[in-house]
Chains A and B, each alone.
Chain A
């Protein structure tokens, strides 16, 4: 290549199209398709010790993570860092790759058996747990450097435009995969639904994707999205949901333009249903629902109760269909959703967030990671992000589950700091964080059973007694990273 100067600018002489810069875009014949995952890994020059990332939009129906690790193990690759946005019970078979040294450690959410194995001390280094927003921030900051992202794609064209709204493994939004596509050095798309170019509308553009690998199947449809998520008929949960709706109604935020996020858990879904009725009764038209989107959110959009849905993951078939057809239903990336280091994220615009908990303590700290027995079983999701962002954060929990109190002196693991939690709603009483005197004023005298959180704790213990604290060893098996990259807590090995 000839270089010379033109003024103070260094320039190069033209030598012919595609001669000097080998164009990866010039692929009219067969696009970016490679025959197998193994070939794609070879082209990506996967080596021992690299970091491989995945998204979890196929949830417990995912076949791609296990498939990829089986191939990498077969290639003799070792010492990998796995960086999934989340793992599910289906990924239990990864444990043999941990034992054999193919996988060294995990940076990502672990739901179920992989978390349990971590709690038993299987990994030599701790699992790094990050929120949805925190994971993107870590990639952006270079703290989580992904060498190769392997992205399951329910629909893909030969150039690597990817979409989640069609195909046998349709999952709707690909929200969590955007950061992987953007920040990984190499991006491999895996699809069981190769469509004609261009795959419009696409979520992840071809500009970010290196290779496309067609396979027989990427997922088990019935485990990817559920059928219609029905509102629970469990009377206890309905009582909590009804209290949440009352709190929201009297919060001072229940006016035109109201926005909210509530998950797909039993109580959250029921709370949405109660809020929906109250919006109708009061004639209130909200602005948006964000986060995980369900059929119920879609119905509220279509009833005109909300103007838009901001969808980072689609929980059921109705949500998937709506994302494909409703103009007011927009896909969003995890960064757009919850990344505090972005130039503006949705959680900061939220009026009300309704969140679950495995434990809450008298300082309003919330644990969503470990169960009452101290075992790591759940990821953070967007919990700490939405709690920090929303104007009013409502945490819902039964006072006790089985024989375990859910309100305790000190949570076993702090996932979400109490300073970001405003109200705790149980079936027997509602506690408002004393920091929120304004909210307490709004809720007083409205027929809401307000109590001090310490009294709620005592009431729980009247039923359950004070359980023995589980015993932990010295070894740290998990690090809970706050959304800003600081460490908020650690999780020790169960012994």
Chain B
């Protein structure tokens, strides 16, 4: 489980399609989501569970983080999903319909039990919590703090807006509130904040604008539903030359101050504190992932 790994894009792959499961990571997403939940019709839940289990067993995923969106434990499918999937130790499960800390606690306990049964170090499999309701939105801080397995918060835009009675629009003002909640809760708990999908796969300009907006809000990444969205989101999550330049100077000042054992770091006459350093590290990581390595600039 790597809390800080890059998760600019998380690509949904329906658990019912063997060809897509085999090629899940080819498209270059940082994380892939093998989906057992809403992408799978109720009549095919068991077939998808078997396919995803076999994919985890046999397909040599190498580059991407591999996660599985299981069904919520409150559904008839959740327990079976955990029983089949956790023994194969994917990087994380994505826990949908997270309403409260209880949901996380229940999942955590069950995961620990299955891990122990299978000789897996408890805590190996991470949790990415997905909030999809007003109640879940209200409880985000508790959800984020409940388990050391928790690596990121995510929300489901469609279900959430339906629950609060908002209308989905292209500009997405109806999501301002939940986005703010996710960011704040994630930062308090020290986990990542991941934005929801952009539904129109043909509107790549709209996707870029939204992805850029959420990066500037503080999100660490965004879910995608089609491979063609991946390079667009990655582009939006590529820092500008100015950002990279500033981050490099911050890090240089930080290293210089550390070597001197100085407690206070200053750059251009301004004080540089820990959050600024953390942000600079994040920007350099994004730049490196985008192929614009600081050294090559």
Name A's B-contacting residues (CB within 8 A): 233, 235-236, 238-239, 400, 402, 427-428, 447, 459, 462-463
- CB pair A236 B228 closer than 8 Å: no
- CB pair B60 A235 closer than 8 Å: no
Contact status of A463 and B227, CB under 8 A, knowing A235-B27, A239-B27? no
Is B26 an interface residue when CB atoms closer than 8 A count as contact? Answer: yes
- CB pair A236 B60 closer than 8 Å: no
Interface size on B, residues (CB 8 A): 11
Q: Give complex CA distance A238, B227 in Å.
A: 10
Task: Note all chain B residues with C-beta closer than 8 A to A462.
Answer: 60
- CB pair A447 B228 closer than 8 Å: no
- CB pair B60 A463 closer than 8 Å: yes
Task: Note all chain B residues with C-beta closer than 8 A to A447.
Answer: 291
Contact status of A236 and B26, CB under 8 A, knowing A447-B291, A462-B60? yes
Write the B271-292 contact mask toward A (1 if CB under 8 angstroms, else 0): 0000000000000000000010
Task: Note all chain B residues with C-beta closer than 8 A to A402.
Answer: 19
- CB pair A235 B22 closer than 8 Å: no
Q: Give complex CA distance A148, B23 in Å.
A: 51
- 8 extra interchain contacts, Cβ-Cβ under 8 A, other than A238-B228, A400-B22, A447-B291? A235-B226, A235-B227, A235-B228, A239-B26, A239-B27, A239-B227, A402-B19, A462-B60
- CB pair B60 A428 closer than 8 Å: no
Write the B25-41 contact mask toward A (1 if CB under 8 angstroms, else 0): 01100000000000000
Task: Note all chain A residues with C-beta closer than 8 A to B22.
Answer: 400, 463
Is B59 an interface residue when CB atoms closer than 8 A count as contact? Answer: yes
Q: Give complex CA distance A239, B29 in Å.
A: 13
Task: Note all chain B residues with C-beta closer than 8 A to A459.
Answer: 60
Q: Give complex CA distance A239, B291 in Å.
A: 17
Q: Which residue of A lies closest to B59 (CB)?
A: A463
- CB pair A427 B59 closer than 8 Å: no
- CB pair B291 A427 closer than 8 Å: no
- CB pair B228 A427 closer than 8 Å: no
9 tightest A-B CB contacts, nearest first = A235-B227, A462-B60, A427-B26, A236-B23, A235-B27, A463-B22, A428-B26, A239-B26, A235-B228
Q: Give complex CA distance A402, B59 in Å.
A: 14
Q: Give complex CA distance A186, B291 in Å.
A: 64
Q: Which residue of A lies closest to B58 (CB)?
A: A463
Q: Give complex CA distance A466, B252 in Å.
A: 52
Task: Note all chain B residues with C-beta closer than 8 A to A400.
Answer: 22
What would 23 A/B residue contacts be, using CB atoms closer than 8 Å?
A: A233-B228, A235-B27, A235-B226, A235-B227, A235-B228, A236-B23, A236-B26, A238-B227, A238-B228, A239-B26, A239-B27, A239-B227, A400-B22, A402-B19, A427-B23, A427-B26, A428-B26, A447-B291, A459-B60, A462-B60, A463-B22, A463-B59, A463-B60
Q: Smallest CB–CB gap between A448 and chain B, Å?
A: 12
Q: Which residue of B lies closest to A464 (CB)?
A: B22
Write the B4-26 contact mask toward A (1 if CB under 8 angstroms, else 0): 00000000000000010011001
Q: Give complex CA distance A282, B23 in Å.
A: 32
Q: Give complex CA distance A43, B23 in Å.
A: 60
Task: Note all chain B residues with C-beta closer than 8 A to A238.
Answer: 227-228
Q: Smallest CB–CB gap between B290 and chain A, Å?
A: 11
Q: Which residue of A lies closest to B230 (CB)?
A: A235
Q: Which residue of A lies closest to B228 (CB)?
A: A235
Q: Give complex CA distance A427, B228 in Å.
A: 14
Q: Output the residue of B19, B23, B291 with the most chain A CB within 10 A.
A: B23
Q: Which residue of B lies closest to A236 (CB)?
A: B23
Q: Give complex CA distance A402, B19 in Å.
A: 7
Task: Note all chain A residues with C-beta closer than 8 A to B60.
Answer: 459, 462-463
Q: Output the residue of B26, B27, B291 with the most chain A CB within 10 A.
A: B26
Q: Which residue of B lies closest to A426 (CB)?
A: B26
Q: Smallest CB–CB gap between A232 and chain B, Å?
A: 12
Q: Give complex CA distance A235, B26 in Å.
A: 9
Q: Smallest CB–CB gap between A230 and chain B, Å?
A: 14
Q: Smallest CB–CB gap between A277 and chain B, Å?
A: 13
Q: Give complex CA distance A427, B226 in Å.
A: 16
Task: Note all chain A residues with C-beta closer than 8 A to B228.
Answer: 233, 235, 238
Q: Smallest CB–CB gap between A356 and chain B, Å?
A: 19
Q: Give complex CA distance A447, B296 in Å.
A: 13
Task: Note all chain A residues with C-beta closer than 8 A to B227.
Answer: 235, 238-239
Q: Which residue of A lies closest to B28 (CB)?
A: A239
Task: Note all chain B residues with C-beta closer than 8 A to A236.
Answer: 23, 26
Q: Which residue of A lies closest to B231 (CB)?
A: A242
Q: Which residue of B lies closest to A398 (CB)?
A: B23
Q: Smallest CB–CB gap between B122 and chain A, Å?
A: 30
Q: Which residue of B lies closest to A233 (CB)?
A: B228
Q: Give complex CA distance A238, B291 in Å.
A: 20
Q: Give complex CA distance A235, B227 in Å.
A: 6
Q: Which residue of A lies closest to B27 (CB)?
A: A235
Q: Give complex CA distance A233, B229 in Å.
A: 12
Q: Give complex CA distance A235, B27 in Å.
A: 8
Q: Smallest CB–CB gap between B227 and chain A, Å?
A: 4
Q: Which residue of A lies closest to B25 (CB)?
A: A428
Q: Smallest CB–CB gap between B60 and chain A, Å?
A: 5
Q: Smallest CB–CB gap between A239 and chain B, Å?
A: 6
Q: Smallest CB–CB gap between A2 and chain B, Å?
A: 81
Q: Which residue of A lies closest to B226 (CB)?
A: A235
Q: Smallest CB–CB gap between A459 and chain B, Å?
A: 8
Q: Give complex CA distance A435, B146 in Å.
A: 59
Q: Which residue of A lies closest to B227 (CB)?
A: A235
Task: Note all chain B residues with C-beta closer than 8 A to A463.
Answer: 22, 59-60
Write the B204-230 contact mask toward A (1 if CB under 8 angstroms, else 0): 000000000000000000000011100
Q: Give complex CA distance A233, B202 in Å.
A: 11
Task: Note all chain B residues with C-beta closer than 8 A to A239.
Answer: 26-27, 227
Q: Smallest CB–CB gap between B134 and chain A, Å?
A: 36
Q: Give complex CA distance A89, B104 in Å.
A: 59
Q: Smallest CB–CB gap between A405 and chain B, Å?
A: 12
Q: Smallest CB–CB gap between B25 and chain A, Å?
A: 9
Q: Give complex CA distance A354, B228 in Å.
A: 23
Q: Give complex CA distance A106, B19 in Å.
A: 38
Q: Smallest CB–CB gap between A402 and chain B, Å?
A: 8
Q: Give complex CA distance A462, B226 in Å.
A: 25
Task: Note all chain B residues with C-beta closer than 8 A to A233.
Answer: 228
Q: Give complex CA distance A236, B291 in Å.
A: 22
Q: Smallest CB–CB gap between A124 and chain B, Å?
A: 41
